[in-house]
Structure 1
């Protein structure tokens, strides 16, 4: 019995060395069908950050998510930028039928959408999360929170709505030998209620 257990352990060790850890512990992968789950987890983690800072959670707006998703898909073709095809966030919002002018407490007003974008090479890890979608969403929000300008958008007390769009570019290459999946992510925020 002990000898059988020893042989089995030896076989698993050899398999692990030869095939790498993925033979024993499958590495999770992303698929474009995971995009809606990632979007929802980004909203959840963004609201967790806001509530930790004493701010109310943002309300998800499906039209703003459509605007964000279209921009992420456009970035997956044209590259990371707030301004693609001569359209910045407010231009894209107006073209989609989202017209927002919100007044602030000091009497000034905001017009259109604020935006966070990110290009993220997908790392296959779970880091204690149940799904790769949640792990990726957590990484996206943490990346934005580590940047002063992006953090300011997330923690802006004058915004009330959020939309998130994800586009997955599979088989991307950096031209230096790396290939893998890349996520283009867009968060749009609105001060309208």
Structure 2
């Protein structure tokens, strides 16, 4: 069986961004802890990991951003680090591998931008952090046997984005289940007026795509769209 669903964009007040405030520090720690728990459930096959040597001025946050991996995944891959606020030059850090699904996800983004280009619309920029959110959402649907925009783990798409630190002034989500290839899932979305409206919306400027399989091999797809604030 193959299914598709969409969530049209809505507008939200962007979350706090001043990392120096106590409120934001506490919120970030809460989100990090939650994401670490979630990372334990992420079962997408990945290629080989690599090692990075810490340089002067590095923090785990900077290293994670540089290598386009989530902070929680970086922490989980380095259990030898007892204090995540304390790393030193010369220390070896394990960098988690990119999931093997990345090529399929990137192909969906390419197909999206092809459709937009045909209509003279601005190309959407890939946001790796948004793709990470989309991947978690797809894996959550696969693991917990549901097909909905509202996750029992993360809540609504907008709550999930905010809890993963994504800032936006408008956002939307398309999901699909059962399609085996990027072209197949794009055909399904483009043949649905609501999903096509998200893909071709002039409002958005960034995109993330994530896919995952359940134990039966059924593929789940998530597209996340945002307008950066």
Structure-1 separation of matches of 2:123 and 2:168: 19
Structure-2 separation of matches of 1:48 and 1:168: 26
Structure-2 separation of matches of 1:32 and 1:120: 19
Post-superposition shift, 1:99?
2.2
Candidates 160, 165, 181, aligned match of 1:92: 160
Post-superposition shift, 1:32?
4.5
Structure-1 separation of matches of 2:197 and 2:204: 11
State the Cα RMSD in Å.
1.7
Q: Which of 1 and 2 has greater Rg?
A: 1
Count residues in correspondence: 131
Secondary structure of the residue aligned to 2:214 is strand
Post-superposition shift, 1:121?
4.7
Q: Is the 8 A contact 1:32 1:168 kept in 2?
A: no
* TM-score normalized by the length of structure 1: 0.64
* TM-score normalized by the length of structure 2: 0.54
User: Aligned residue for 2:124?
Assistant: 58
Structure-2 separation of matches of 1:62 and 1:121: 23
Q: In the TM superposition, what are the counterparts of 1:6-85 in structure 2 within 5 Å?
A: 32=45, 34-78=100-144, 79-85=146-152
Q: Is the 8 A contact 1:114 1:190 kept in 2?
A: yes
Q: Is the 8 A contact 1:35 1:168 kept in 2?
A: no
Larger helix share, 1 or 2: 1
Candidates 169, 173, 177, aligned match of 2:214: 169
Gaps spanning 5+ residues in structure 1: where? 1-30, 102-109, 123-135, 173-180
Candidates 159, 173, 179, aligned match of 1:115: 173
User: Aligned residue for 1:105?
Assistant: none
Candidates 161, 176, 183, aligned match of 2:219: 183
Q: Deviations over 1:111-155 (max 9, x none)?
A: xx2000000153xxxxxxxxxxxxx11111111001111000000
